[in-house]
Structure 1
């Protein structure tokens, strides 16, 4: 499903993917933004990589 990068919000994700997946995707996007702009705040890459892989398989 195409979503413009600038329009990613929890509401848009929930509408496109449902509440459960939308929430998970939103949390993952927030963590990726933290990793990009504040890499020292990231504790475990494995946890978020596993979450990404699980979401990818689901979608």
Structure 2
């Protein structure tokens, strides 16, 4: 496996895990605690997460 295909595989796997955990936290937090999350804070954290992930793994592609 070449470096490029190896890095793309790890990017795909790690992004699937990270976004799944983020989605699960967003879904289950209100059910567990009984408190709703802020919509605005959720959007901000998503975009920071998205941009940070792409900035981190951009040199690998």
TM-score range, shorter chain: 0.3 to 0.5
From the two aligned structures, give the one with the greater helix fraction: 2
TM-score, scaled to structure 2: 0.35
- Identify which of structures 1 and 2 has the higher relative contact order when contacts are C-alpha pairs closer than 8 Å and 6+ apart: 2
